Structure formats: structure tokens, C-alpha cells
Structure 1
Amino acid sequence: MSSTDPTFYRSPAEAIAAPTERLAYVAAFDRAGVLPDALAVVDVDEDSDTYGTVVGWTGLPTTGDELHRFGWNACSSALMHEGHDMGGAGLQRRFLLLPGIRSSRIHVYDTQPDPRSPRLHKTIDPEELAARAGYSRPHTLHCGPDGVFLTCLGGADGNDGPGGVALLDHTTFDVLRAWETERGPQYLAYDAWWHLNQNVLVSSEWGTPSMIEDGLVPELLLGQEYGHRLHFWSLTDGRHLQAVDLGPQHQMVLKLHPAHDPEATWGFAGVVVDTTDLSSSVWRWHRDGAEWRADKVITIPAEPADPADLPPALQPFGAVPPLITDIDLSVDDRMLYVSCWGTGELKQFDVTDPAAPREVGSVRLGGVVRRTPHPAAPSEPLSGGPQMVEVSRDGRRVYITNSMYGAWDDQFYPDGVGAWMAKIDTDPATGGLDVDERFFPHGEDFHGRRVHQVRLQGGDASSDSYCSR
């Protein structure tokens, strides 16, 4: 009989005090779909002789998947779920689920017994996802009540939508059903997360497969047809409660991050672009009596640029939009990190007062025009920019990767986006960002693949929900 997984933490404070991560798992994909995508394992132990290098590489058995977002089968919220037998053979943070956003296949890898050499445990075919849940193009997953919640961008049987949430069994990973019981006005999908103690799930909007798979469609963007709403749901029964429209000009409401404090009733959402001025923004949602509301709390303006330095998609505008494509909130709910993939900047905000964020740090790497190099290679201009962001449990280390999505990479960085990962050090109390010169896996370290999301051994800021303060 096994004991409770030691990487499950009842409170944010327990998670912050836990041992430091030693490995990072990174999704690596082949844009051409010829080579198999892979799960790369990077040494993040600062005292290791192989620190900052790829120490494990597990290729998928298939091609054409395009690994994108991925995650653990279980997290600290399992401590409050019923039926998990946590004192016996209960859930462990052990398996990584890797959805293929183009193939709709899901590969499940076991990180035990050797965490540097994950082994294929199971493959979930797209036919199972379609037949049992009615969805395709799996995107984001979180372990929660009743199972693993997997957001999907597309419908099944040739239907472009609606997208939504598929529910997978916690232990067998069988697709159980569509989670929604009353969808209401929701049609577009992207991210989903929750306030467990409030019995509320929050979801966001990007676009259907036809709107994204061949790149950003300018006519749809200027026609304000990408997602611009937040949706609030009953977590226990999948019933739509309320839609909050941020305004049609605020196109592509992507990453969500609720507060880690289980009693809090607020969180942040990142918006990619405002079609009126090319700015990006972050919005705070919060409960106001019986209703949910959202307010813009951060605006990041576009940066003017010579059209000759811009890709064709941006030349008519003479500016680089920040393109907020990811956000992450430290486990203590104090620091918010905002990736500006277009301008090549990672911003840090003190959100002790979530209604009034205060910028306390910034670093630049890459960018459409700037191409800011990494200090480890000052003569090498970087393509791409800070995209996926992952924060350590103690809030002292921030990991970033540079690819957004294959077709969109090609539009905004038509001369090649490359592949790189960086680590940034910070003080979780006062802020300030410093790029670690010793940590820079890049280029052929990833065997010709691009890199997207990072997951940390033992959990991280964007994968855990907690039961108590």
C-alpha cells in the first residue's frame, strides 16, 4: 500500500516550502511532421554537472502530432477529490499526457521508474476522443474533480466546432464523455481552470481549427471573429452560468490563471491583441455578488517599427504588437508573468493588489524586430520570443520557451523561429528579472524540433490547485 504522493501539497505554503525541482519536461515538435515529436528532459539542478542540458529524449511512435500543451495526470487538488483512495493505491503525479494538437492523438508517458527516461504507457486515438466526447484538437489539461479535464478546440465528425472539454478517467485515461451538460452560448474554446471552493470553472476562447491551423487569418481578425469572451460554469454539473464579453476588439482571450488561494474569487486572463491599436492586455475577473465581472488591469502598447523590418503580416501596420500568448501566476499569488511573444519581452507584475498590478521586472529575448540575444551567446540574434512561461513552486525561477504554434511561428518569424529555452532568476518578494547565463539549451540540443510548453518535476505554478490556505 502506497502513501499519499509527497508532491501533493495541501496549501500553497506547503508547495513553496517543498524541495526544488531537478528536471524539466519540454514538449518538442517537428513543424514539417516528418520527424516524430518528442518529450525532452532538461537538467535544472544548478549543482549538477549537466545543468542546462538535455539529459533525456523520448520520441513519440507517430509523426504529425504537433505537441503543444501537456500536463500531469494528477496534482494537489486530488487531496480533496472523493474516491481516489489516497491512503492506498491512489493518484500519483507520475504520468504526463501529451496531446497532439494536429493529430488529435494523446500519448501518455510514465515518468517512473526513471524520470529521465519516460516510457510510453498508453495512446488515446482520435477516434476515441471523437466518439466518446465529440471533440478534436486537444489543447489544455488539468487534473480535477471527476477526472482529467481536457480542453479541445474542434468538434468531431467533420465539424469545426463547437470546442469544449473532454473528461478522461484519472487512472485508465479512457475518454469518458463531454464534460458540458448545458453549453449555453459557448462555441469557441481554449483554456479552462477553476475555483474549486466556489464550484466554478472558467473557460476562454481562441478559435476553431479552421481559424488557426493555417495561421492567423487577417480577415477574421479584423472582422473580430476570434474569441473575446470568458465563460463561467458550474464545476459539478457542467452547466453554463454566465458569459462575460471583453469587447469584440479584444481578440483571442487565451491563457487563464485563477488565484492559487482556494478561497479567492479572482484570476487573470491574457488577451492577444486589440484590433483598434494592436495593444495586448491582461484582465482580472472577479465575483461581484452573484455575478462575475472582468476589468482590464494591464495594457501593453504596440511598438512602432520600420515596415521593412516586419514580416508581411505586420507591414501594413508599421508596428509590432506585443502578442500576449501566455501568463503565469506565482504560487503565492504575488507575481504575475506576462509573455510578449511579438516584442520579445517577459514582464513581471506585482499583483499583491490584483486590481492594480505594478510592473517590477522585465527582460528581453528575441522579438520580431529586436532579436535580442541570450547573454550566453551575445553574437547570436534570437528568433521567437518568450512564449510559454513556467514558474517554480518557490517563485525563484522562471522558465520560458520560444515557439507559439507552428503555422503562427511561420507568419511572424518567416525566416525561422529556431528553438530555445531560457531560465530567469527572480526574488519572489521584491521582483526583478535576471537571465541565467549558464542555462541556454537551444538549436540542435532539441534535434531540429521546436519547443513549446515546460512542466516541472514535482509540479509548478500552472498545474496545481490547492485545498486550503
Structure 2
Amino acid sequence: MTRWTPDPTFYPSPREAVTAPAEKLAYVAAFDRTASRPDAIVVLDTDPDSPDYGRVVGWTDLPHVGDELHHFGWNACSSALCPTAPHPHVERRYLIVPGLRSSRIHVIDTQPDPRQPQVVKVIGPEELAKRAGYSRPHTVHCGPDGIYLSALGGADGEEGPGGIAVLDHTTFEVRGAWEADRGPQFLAYDVWWHLTQDVLVTSEWGTPSMIEDGIIGELLLGRRYGHAIHFWDLAKRRHVQRVDLGDQYQMPLELRPAHDPTKSYGFVGVVISVEDLSASIWLWHRDGDAWAVTKVIDIPAEPADPADLPDLLKPFGAVPPLVTDIDLSVDDRFLYVSCWGTGELRQYDVSDPLHPVQTGSVHLGGIVRRTAHPSAPDEALAGGPQMVEVSRDGRRVYVSNSLYGAWDDQFYPDGVGAWLAKLDVDVDAGGLTPDVRFFPHGDEFRGLRVHQTRLQGGDASSDSYCFP
């Protein structure tokens, strides 16, 4: 008799996930801005007891050029243990890696040798367009019934609407578009959910022409980028409510719902206010039978000499924080906020989500500061903390420095370089400390820029749970 057992990296509740063993490897998306050589998935050793700690120990080139790897994710995760999940026997084994520019989707097998993952399938842009009507795939999340893939563009690169495609857990075929009734939703970016409450949430960025060649000042000042989040009936795939943050709050991007499935709140980061260049964090929460959003964190712009600023910012005489990623620890206690413009990673205690308290800060890079890493104090850094990933136990935070090729070039015109840092967390009192032993950078990434990181066995932003 065949006996199916769950993947040991799946945990039914966030409380149990926090006790998971520490990751030994990290997978990093690296891309070639010139599109003249293949992008890659880079494998880093994250075991402090290993002689290769903090070094590149694996490298997988993709089969084409011009993909621009961005966000990627696992094929399966702890949501497979939800009571209604049809695939409790799937493994967290494959990385689903979209190319944001090419609209190709790569399936990469991390077995049998996790240090040498292999490309086993490539889904072409024509299949995504034909079956789902989308292009420019952006964010991957594994759900109990399939793989959810947000996309910014319509079929064949059309301006939209963007939305969500669903891939099969086992064959990785594109099933189709997720939305049965999209209502007023047009712009797309991130997607997340409250699984046990049948609620799905999406956010907004822009259409392909609005983002692919860099930020367009006229569109930004004209308040044309996204400025709303959307709530959906997850089971019926139907739009329920659009909540506008106000058109001065441009680009509400990353969504981070509470991991505790009994909670009805989450955080969204807003890149910039066109009124004062500040960035902000908003909390979505229940308001009777409807949803509401409340601004809970304001991060002001920092005055700067125009001579030190890129052309886009010279007229303003200030550096915007540019909150481009956020992440929430699995125990829902600490929220991490990447300020890519000012070169800062902030930590907030959000035990009371309506009243966050800042508990930590680390500066690395920044448009003006160029703060060095303590392991290389003479090397001024470009870029800043951008993509942030938190270990399941909440004790380690990984940050990489590239945002998106064309946007890198606008804000860091002298080059953004490539680096990835690890920060150790004081989980009792709060606070962050850079690990001087872990700082892969420069030539270690062979001229490629680095974006998102995924941790072997799972991380804070890739799992959702059905039990408290």
C-alpha cells in the first residue's frame, strides 16, 4: 500500500514553522541588465558551520537571454496542509521562476542536488498569453489548489488588464486566468490571501509601458501609477471591494498578511507620496462588513544637495525613502521595511499592528550615503536594502540590492553593483546586526545584479497556514 506523507518542510501553523531548522542554502535570482548573457539562479551557502559559509556554491544559467528575473517562488508550501487541499503529498521541490521582461516561466528542480538545480521546463510567453491572457509575470505564490502567478500585462504584452494566472501543481501547465469577475481592477502587482476567510488581496503597480523603461516622471506627478488595493472572494474568484489610498500615494506594492489565519489584517508598502516624497506603510483591516486601510507608518524624505542626486531627483533636493519591499516575521511580531533610496532597512515591532514601534535600523548603500558593509568598510555601496527575506525562526534577515534594471539605472546612474547581506536579529528586544562573515558581492555574482532570495525549506514570505 502506498502511503503519502507530507513534505517535512510543511507546517500546519506558524507557531510550528517558527521551530523549523535553519536554512542551509539560499537561492537568489540574478539577471544581466544588458540581456546579452543568460540570467541565473545562484545558490549561496547559509550554514555558519560550513567552510563555504557566505559564498556562492551553485550556479544555474537559464537557457535564454533577456528574461530579467525578478520575483520567484516555490511550487508548494504549508498551505498544502489545509483541510481542503487536493495535493497534500506535493513536495517543496521546484522553483517557479518568471522572466519579467520575456514572459517566460522557468521550472527549476532543486533535487537531487540542491546546490545544482536544473531547468526542467520552460513555459513560453505564447502559452501564458493563450491560456490566461497575460504577460509580464511578476509574483509567484503557492496555494492549496495551484500555483498563483500575478502578471502586469495583457496577452502579448498589451497594456492590460493585469491579473492572476494559475498553474497546475504537478504538471506546471497554465490552467487559465484566475478571475471570474474582476470588477474595476485593471493594474496589477502582488497577490496574497487570508485562506481560512476566503479573502484574496491584490495591489497595483503599472502596465508594461509604465515600468519597463524606468519610472516616468509625468505619470508619477500625474498620479497615474497604482494607488489602490483590491479585495476578492477567494472561493468565487470575484472582486468584492476596491480601497483607494488616495492618488498621492503612488505604487502600493508588497502585501504581507498576518500569518495567523485567525487574524484579518495585513500590511502594504507604498513607494512614494508625490506630495512630499515620503514613503508609508498601511494596514488593511476589517471595518464592519467591509475592508479599510489605515496609514500606520510614515517615513519622510531626507534633504540632500541636488549635486549629489540623480537627474530625476535634482529638482526636489531630497532623497525619497522608496519603500520597495516589506516582510513580516512568521510570528507576526516584526515588520521589515526596505528603504531602497536612503539605503536603510528598518525593523518595527507590530505586535499591536495599528501602532508599530521602530526597534531597529541598519544602513547599507543609499543614493547619497553609500554606506559600506562592516566587512568591507572601504567599499562605498550603491543600491540599498531592496528585497528582504526573513528566516522562519525570525533570527536572520537577508537583503539584496537591485530593484529593477531600468529603475536601478535612473536612481543609481553610476551603477548599482551587486551585493547581498545577512543581518542577525535580536528576537527578544528587537534590533539588527550585520553579519560580517556573510557578504557575497561584486565578482562573486559574475557581473549580474541580484534581486529576490528564497530560503531552502521555506521562509517568511512564501508560506500561508490554515491553523493558528
Whole-Å separation in 2 of the counterparts to 1:159 and 1:107: 22
Whole-Å separation in 1 of the counterparts to 2:422 and 2:63: 30
Change (3 A) 1:217 1:81: farther
Contact 1:339 1:389 in 2 (8 A): yes
How far 1:225 moved relative to its partner?
0.2
Partner residue of 1:43? 45
Q: Alignment partner of 1:61: what SS?
A: strand
Q: Which moved more, 1:72-81 or 1:57-66?
A: 72-81
Count matched residues. 466
Partner residue of 2:444? 445
Partner residue of 1:102? 101
Mapping 1:44-443, distance limit 5 Å: 44-80=46-82, 82=84, 84-86=86-88, 90-443=89-442
Q: Alignment partner of 2:375: what SS?
A: coil
TM-score (norm: length of structure 1): 0.98
Contact 1:84 1:91 in 2 (8 A): no
Q: Which moved more, 1:175-184 or 1:73-82?
A: 73-82
How far 1:85 moved relative to its partner?
4.8
Whole-Å separation in 1 of the counterparts to 2:96 and 2:418: 22
**Structure 2, unaligned stretches of length 5 or more?**
none
Whole-Å separation in 2 of the counterparts to 1:77 and 1:85: 10
Q: Deviations over 1:282-316 (max 9, x none)?
A: 00000122100000000000000000000000000
Q: Alignment partner of 2:57: what SS?
A: strand
How far 1:35 moved relative to its partner?
0.9
Whole-Å separation in 1 of the counterparts to 2:108 and 2:302: 42
Contact 1:72 1:95 in 2 (8 A): yes
Contact 1:227 1:253 in 2 (8 A): yes
Whole-Å separation in 2 of the counterparts to 1:401 and 1:93: 23
Q: Alignment partner of 1:375: what SS?
A: coil
Whole-Å separation in 1 of the counterparts to 2:85 and 2:365: 47
Contact 2:157 2:208 in 1 (8 A): no
Q: Which moved more, 1:291-300 or 1:145-154?
A: 145-154
Whole-Å separation in 2 of the counterparts to 1:26 and 1:85: 27
Contact 2:135 2:157 in 1 (8 A): no
Whole-Å separation in 2 of the counterparts to 1:385 and 1:290: 40
RMSD of aligned C-alpha atoms? 0.8
Q: Alignment partner of 2:64: what SS?
A: coil
Q: Deviations over 1:413-450 (max 9, x none)?
A: 00000000000001123211100001000011011100
Whole-Å separation in 1 of the counterparts to 2:376 and 2:301: 27
The one of 6, 9, 12 aligned to 1:7? 9
How far 1:52 moved relative to its partner?
0.2
How far 1:144 moved relative to its partner?
1.1
Partner residue of 2:461? 462
Contact 2:103 2:125 in 1 (8 A): yes
Q: Alignment partner of 1:166: what SS?
A: strand
Q: Alignment partner of 1:17: what SS?
A: coil
Q: Deviations over 1:152-184 (max 9, x none)?
A: 000014521110000111111100110001111
Q: Which moved more, 1:30-39 or 1:427-436?
A: 427-436
Whole-Å separation in 1 of the counterparts to 2:345 and 2:85: 41
Whole-Å separation in 2 of the counterparts to 1:78 and 1:133: 24
How far 1:83 moved relative to its partner?
5.6
Whole-Å separation in 2 of the counterparts to 1:248 and 1:332: 33
Q: Alignment partner of 1:37: what SS?
A: strand
How far 1:236 moved relative to its partner?
1.1
Whole-Å separation in 2 of the counterparts to 1:67 and 1:238: 28
Contact 2:72 2:96 in 1 (8 A): yes
Whole-Å separation in 2 of the counterparts to 1:232 and 1:287: 11
How far 1:146 moved relative to its partner?
2.6
Q: Alignment partner of 2:18: what SS?
A: helix
Q: Which aligned runs of 4 or more in structure 1 are off by greater than 6 angstroms?
A: none
- Matched letter for residue 318 of structure 1: G
Q: Percent identity?
A: 70
Q: Alignment partner of 1:97: what SS?
A: strand
How far 1:81 moved relative to its partner?
5.6
**Structure 1, unaligned stretches of length 5 or more?**
none
Contact 1:81 1:145 in 2 (8 A): no
Q: Alignment partner of 2:34: what SS?
A: coil
Q: Alignment partner of 2:402: what SS?
A: coil
Q: Which moved more, 1:153-162 or 1:41-50?
A: 153-162
Q: Alignment partner of 1:460: what SS?
A: coil
TM-score (norm: length of structure 2): 0.99
Contact 1:268 1:285 in 2 (8 A): yes
